Amino acid sequence: MTNVVRKIRPSNYWCIGEHESWFSDMSLQGLHLHKIRTNFVHFKKGKPKRMEYRIEVAKNKSISDEQIEMYNENGWDYVTSYHYFHVFASPVERNATELHTDPAEQAYTLQQLSKRLILNVIVGAVGFAFIIGMLGTTLFLDGTPVLRLVEGFILQQMIMIFIILYLVYLSIRAMLAIRTLRRNLKEGKAINHHAPWEKTLRKNTAFSIVFVTIALASTAIPWIQIIKSETFSLPEGDSDLPLVRLANIEQNPMLVRDEYYMRDGIDRGNRYSMNWSLFAPVQYESDEHGVIEDKVWLDESDTYSPSINTEVYQLTFQAFAAPLVSDLIKWHSYGDETEPYVEKNHLQFDQLIIHEEDEKKELFASKGKVVMFVRYYGYAEMESIIENTAQKIRLLAEK
């Protein structure tokens, strides 16, 4: 059975008086300070004892042997260090002399730390602005922020922004707290070595839990996306997949599959993929190519070979549906279409927008939380595409 107990720190490192008070109260419970880490403090179990603790702020991360020896001669034993903070302890009965008897002199020892914290704030703010710029470019450069969000590949970047923003916030708090402490010391107000710490402990514990949860989510989400991303060859016949199939559009028994190439056992020209994101937990994308040997294109250039591509998104929030339809139009229009996108009223859809240009027909539709995009090349009527899309969108919308 280990004699080391780990506890979440009750406050951030710049709260010197609260740390000293906490260490003393833990000693009364038989938990004596051993090591300090970023979020946890290690205590060794022992007999309850009334101890006083003092934190010395040094210019360097290491403290000299001479300084440790000087404090030891004054009744203070070196315990541990964390960055620029060095902790000393003394039993109450030893009645040790204070490390600093002049608050104004102690204020001078915080000068270097204050400058360093100002630099941390500047560096953090620059880093935060850089990441915001990168994310803004990803989201808005092509004018499709909702589509990028729904696809899920920028979610980790967004989580990282909140983490960095929180760290910048902590840097600002540290800078302001040390500046206030220096000012108070210059005014002759000594550090309260028995400052209350319980309220700060509860607050810091809550923040730590939220921070760790967000950090874990930032790590886990990309792996979940990879695990849930799968690609298969399309089945020959119709299925319960929410995908508009070429045979249902063409309605020609002479239609056969036009196989492009096989890779990893999958027909890449006739395949469907399943994906996942936090904002669209169900996603499908498919490509299908066919050929009718006894039929040619109107310009007699080649054998008639219709194709269809379908994208399906079942969203977490219905409010994303209309913006996603708009983004899909922007993404797939390429800006060079000559025919307009026409919105039509249809009882089977909340929103239906179509686009026809020669043999290319496109459909953008939403119903409830489900959004579908269909692009078809061929001579079938748009009404056939609309009818088949309505049938497929119900498979998800009614769930």
Q: Which two tokens stand for residue 27?
A: 């000693």
pLDDT of res. 46: 92
pLDDT of res. 287: 95
Q: Say yes or no: 156 and 191 in one domain.
A: yes
Q: What's at 270, amino acid-wise?
A: N
Q: Say yes or no: 242 and 359 in one domain.
A: yes
Q: 346-351: long-range contacts at Cβ-Cβ below 8 A with a sequence spacing of 24 or more?
A: 346/386, 346/390, 348/390, 348/393, 348/394, 349/390, 349/393, 350/321, 351/321, 351/322, 351/325
What global pTM score does this model have? 0.71
User: What is the number of domains present in the chain?
Assistant: 3
Q: Which residues span the domain enclosing 235?
A: 229-397
Final residue of a structural domain among 178, 197, 227: 227
Q: Say yes or no: 383 and 280 in one domain.
A: yes
DSSP states along 54-72: EEEE-SSSS--HHHHHHHH
Q: Say yes or no: 355 and 344 in one domain.
A: yes
Final residue of a structural domain among 83, 100, 117: 100
Final residue of a structural domain among 227, 243, 273: 227
pLDDT of res. 380: 95
pLDDT of res. 139: 64
pLDDT averages per 10-residue partition of the chain, 399 residues: 78 82 94 88 93 86 85 93 90 90 83 83 84 72 82 76 81 87 88 86 79 78 87 87 94 88 85 94 95 91 94 96 95 76 94 94 96 97 96 84
The Cα–Cα gap between 156 and 173 comes to: 26
Q: Say yes or no: 45 and 129 in one domain.
A: no
pLDDT of res. 202: 81
pLDDT of res. 43: 95
pLDDT of res. 338: 67
